[in-house]
Amino acid sequence: MSLLPTRISILAAEFNKSIIDTMISEAQKTAREAGITDIRVIKVAGCYEIPLIAELELSQSDTGIVVALGYIERGETLHGEVMGNVVHQALVQLQLKHRKPVGIGIIGPGATEEQAQARKVDYAQAAVRASLKNWSLLQGSQKKS
């Protein structure tokens, strides 16, 4: 088994284009630096839509990792808090179901635009690195079985 996944799928919410475009670019760069050559970028409407497409991607045999990128901004109601909780729970459940890593690079919920701008690079890079680390750990545990 390879220490690198065949494909990494980056799922990015289309809201807040200036933030998300940078996040996509940084995630791709980090994946390429790690040696990943097959990188699929899929833009979805928003963070709430990421889990459905993550399910589809994780069910593909050639997709080893999914990275979810987005920004759930601070609003006047608790809508973002609820959405963030639902999305994060769904993504964790999907990685457990498929036994494939999901890197979560979603800023917020409740972040201001200033906070998101300051975190966009680090969150994207960390999501890729964490998922690659988990991929490596999973490969090591499968070799021992």
Range of the domain at 110: 7-144
Residue at 2 is within a domain = no
Do 43 and 70 touch, CB atoms closer than 8 A?
A: no
79 is known as an active-site residue: yes
Whichever domain contains 127, its CATH number is: 3.40.50.960
Number of domains forming the structure of the chain: 1
Name the residue among 118, 96, 117, 92 with its Cα closest to residue 104: 92
Q: Is residue 23 in some structural domain? A: yes
**Catalytic choice (79, 97, 99, 133):** 79
The answer to the question of residue 115 being in a domain is: yes
- Tell me the pLDDT tens digit for each residue of 26-61: 999 999 999 999 999 999 999 999 999 999 999 999
Residue 55 lies in a domain: yes
Residue 107 lies in a domain: yes
pTM for the model stands at 0.93
Angle of helix 50-58 versus helix 79-98 axis, rounded to 10: 10
Answer whether residue 130 shows pLDDT above 60.
yes
What is the C-alpha to C-alpha distance for residues 28 and 88, in angstroms, rounded to an integer? 22
